Amino acid sequence: MQFSVITLFPELVESVVAEGVVGRAEKRGLMELKCVNPRDFTEDVHRTVDDRPYGGGPGMLMRPDCLLKTIRSERERLGKAKVIYLSPQGKPLEQSMLQALSEEGSAILLCGRYEGIDERVIDLEVDEEWSIGDYVLSGGELAAMVVVDGVTRLLPEALGHKGSAIEDSFTDGLLDCPHYTRPERIEDLDVPKVLLSGNHQHIEKWRKKQALGRTQLRRPDLLQNTELNESDKVLLIE
């Protein structure tokens, strides 16, 4: 998977490959991250990337000229890569969007700063606009890092244990069940007995019931879009 991230703060975004699952995936050649700075595509002595908005108002916008040049040079380098602009106006990010992107092979992630970017960049070169939630960050970089992380861990071989990504929260439309490791008792809290039983059918049934119960209590909205089979419906809380 090849990621190109267009950002005024490449060092911030590059830190996503410093550690953990994403760092290992990069070292093993499963993914590649290149950050490109629109400042390198400016032509004036001050290397200006921002300007005042037409019509007035507070703050500055990113200029379209250097952004268009940056995007087009990355499109040329990567072939058929989609351009995704990260902004609070975008489509709310879901696991299925990360899964679909992980199957594309490449992506160009465009990060805004200041009050945003000139709308004509979106008209001309953006294929999709994604939001990571209903709150406003000071730029798209953290959102781009969320996308890079969420996609990379879905790449075949990125996680140590093959079942890990399949058993994630949201993969089956439900929240995850609780998990426990040693010791068997801590303070006055015991690991649920069933998990020590060695009976894998019972364990699977308990985990499903927990996942369903948590989803019902914490995120009932998720159950609206999830097809439950008859044996799962029996496990729902009355």
Catalytic site residue from 65, 115, 149, 167: 115
Q: Between residue 84 and residue 113, which ones bind ligand ADE under the rule CB under 6 A? A: 86-88
Distances (CA, A) of 12 to 15, 23, 36, 88: 6, 14, 12, 20
Is residue 115 among the annotated active site residues? yes
Amino acid at 113: R
Q: Does 143 bind ligand ADE (CB under 6 A)?
A: yes
Question: Which lies closer to ligand ADE via its Cβ, residue 51 or residue 128?
Answer: 128
51 assigned ligand-binding residue: no
Contact between residue 30 and residue 157 where contact means Cβ atoms under 8 Å apart: yes
168 a catalytic residue: yes
Was 44 annotated as part of a binding site? no
Q: Does 132 bind ligand ADE (CB under 6 A)?
A: yes
Sole binder of ligand ADE in the list 131, 152, 210, 215 (CB under 6 A): 131
Beta-carbon contacts of 110 under 8 Å, excluding residues fewer than 6 positions away, are 6, 67, 71, 83, 84, 85, 86, 117, 121, 126, 140
CA nearest 54: which of 100, 120, 2? 120
Q: How far is the CB of 135 from ligand ADE (least distance, A)?
A: 5
Rg (CA), the chain: 22
Fill in the per-residue mask, 7 to 36: x = in contact with ligand ADE (CB under 6 A), - = not in contact: ------------------------------
- Structure tokens that stand for 37 in this block: 């700075």
Tell me the number of residues near ligand ADE by CB under 6 A: 11
Q: Are 86 and 132 in contact (CB under 8 A)?
A: yes
29 backbone φψ class: left, alpha, beta (φ>0; ψ -120 to 50):
left
Active site residue 185: no
| Choices 4-12, 52-60, 66-74, 132-140 (CB under 6 A): range interacting with ligand ADE | 132-140
Q: Answer yes or no: is 133 a known binding residue.
A: yes
Can you give the binding site for ligand ADE, defined by CB under 6 A?
86-88, 131-133, 135-137, 140, 143
Annotated binding-site ranges for S-adenosyl-L-methionine: 112, 132-137
